Amino acid sequence: MEKEKMSKQRKQKFETSSGIELKAAFQLQDVAASGEIDTSMPGTFPFTRGIHPSMYRTRFWTMRQYAGFATAEESNKRYKYLLANGTTGLSIAFDLPTQIGLDSDNPLAAGEVGKVGVAIDSLRDMEILLDGIPLDKVSTSMTINSTAAILLALYIAVARKQGVPTHKLNGTIQNDLLKEYIARGTYIYPPRPSLRIITDIFAYCSKHLPNWNTISISGYHIREAGSTAVQEVAFTLANAICYTQAAIDAGLEVDSFAPRLSFFFNAHNNLLEEVAKFRAARRLWAKIMRERFGAKDERSCMLRFHAQTAGSTLTAQQPDVNVVRVTIQALAAVLGGAQSLHTNSRDEALSLPTEEAARLALRTQQVIAYESGVADIADPLGGSYVVEYLTNEIEARALDYIRKIDEMGGVLTAIETGWIQREIQEAAYRYQKALERGEEVVVGLNKFQIEESEHIPIFKVDDSIERAQVEALRRLRKERDNAKVAAALDAVEAAARTTENLMPHILNAVECYATVGEISDRLRKVFGEYREALVL
């Protein structure tokens, strides 16, 4: 009776998150019917099977745990803790005021200082944040967008103080504004001035920071907003096309900046679809770069990506189950050929992660790397009929989306008219309705619930942090050379009114201890602020 009941509860229709129907078993003819049979080897164009011939046999992916909270001093302690436990790269989370160009004493920042990331107001904070961390040896990723140019300048300024030449700096700034308008919302300026700042960063780094990834084009937040896997690939690559074209229009040669473009994808629950998604994205981008933009350098055609496990899949109910989810998602990223990976902690549906939870998340990556055996072979699932079929299907469906966006006049038009936002909203709505009907199962949430009494330790940021941060900022303003700061800010504003590259002026301003908010305000004067159109 129980078996009969369970069989009735199984799906009537088997399909992926993107609506790709799944047969009970696949054969070679299914792959051939869906598109090409890719016989390439890893490390060769179009890089379906990975960007390096031996992948993780040579070196593991960068184990980069995302962290940042409260003050620079507290976050610095967490970074040193993670490095001591085996992380191989830093990933900095900034608080909301820092992300949207507000100083900690701005009235609009009240209640948000140090809460979802570290508060950075000036070079003084950045010096404390990176104290004792050798910037010529550690790769650093900074999840920052609207104020990316300022935070990169702060990082360069700290490196100079450490005596580290800029050509030795290694890391990434997210610097992806288009996805902010689509899915996340931490924008300041309208899209077109934002593109100007982004291309200024491209140009500056191509000369001064050759090993720095100047953008991490993010599908992660698009997926977190409710998109399907196909939409995640399509809208991310459409944004990448826009950035590439903007840089070319600004006078840059494609091969001068394209090798330093990087991507950021979500590692979601459907293991086979996710592996295929990463393979399809890599192949599609390689073709776009060669055929659309005429890239000649093979490195320009390599889609290098960081992955993070899916925060939106974590549940506050039975949080230990999140460890299982994260393991499956991390495995998908590794099987799909990620260059770097962050694994979410089990308690992140409840709070910022505790040290113990962050360590367990890191250990998940280490077990996959050292114990599972999947890192011994490049593209272990290559040749699987279903994975090859899904790779073809995702590539074809994502390309259909990109063609639609081209027909509209490009991604800026698709964003400004709200078309992309509506596509994501509709996908999110369909999933939510399926969840409510029980057609989609989330263990512990709408099935296999239990009465929970166990107390889960919660990490909390004390409100006194905000008061201390504001006091430190006010002391800085009294102690610095304010005439020098004013002149540097005037130079930033003047450059913004021309086509001159902003980066040298922003770097000069931060080295005078101008604040993130002061520099952002000068750019606001020139560029204005973006107001999102109502999407119906």
* Phi (first) and psi of residue 349, to 5 degrees: -80, -10
pLDDT at 6: 45
Over its length of 536 residues, how does the chain's per-residue pLDDT go in tens digits? 444 444 455 666 799 999 999 999 999 999 999 998 889 999 999 999 999 999 999 999 999 988 899 899 999 999 999 999 999 889 999 999 999 999 999 999 999 999 999 999 999 999 999 999 999 999 999 999 999 999 999 999 999 999 999 999 999 999 999 999 999 999 999 999 999 999 999 999 999 999 999 999 999 999 999 999 999 999 999 999 999 999 999 999 999 999 999 999 999 999 999 999 999 999 999 999 999 999 999 999 999 999 999 999 999 999 999 999 999 999 999 999 999 999 999 999 999 899 999 999 999 999 999 999 999 999 999 999 999 999 999 999 999 999 999 999 999 999 989 999 999 999 999 999 999 999 999 999 999 999 887 677 788 888 899 999 999 999 999 999 999 999 999 999 999 999 999 999 999 999 999 999 999 999 999 999 998 766 55
CA 433 to chain centroid: 27
For the chain, which domains are there? 28-59+174-416 (3.20.20.240)
Residues linked to residue 21 through DSSP beta bridges, in sequence order: 15
pLDDT at 1: 43
Tokens of 531: 């107001």
Q: How far apart are CA 282 and CA 236, in angstroms?
A: 12
108 to 148, 181, 329: CA distances (angstroms): 20, 20, 37
Q: Which residues contact 377 (CB under 8 A, 6 or more apart)?
A: 55, 57
Q: Are 140 and 90 in contact (CB under 8 A)?
A: yes
Q: Which residues contact 107 (CB under 8 A, 6 or more apart)?
A: none
Q: Read out DSSP for 327-364?
A: HHHHHHHHHTT-SEEE---TTTTTSBPPHHHHHHHHHH
* Phi (first) and psi of residue 229, to 5 degrees: -65, -40
Report the side by side order of strands in the sheet with 171-173.
212-213, 171-173, 139-143, 89-93, 62-67, 340-342, 305-309, 261-267, 215-218
CB atoms within 10 A of CB 19: 14
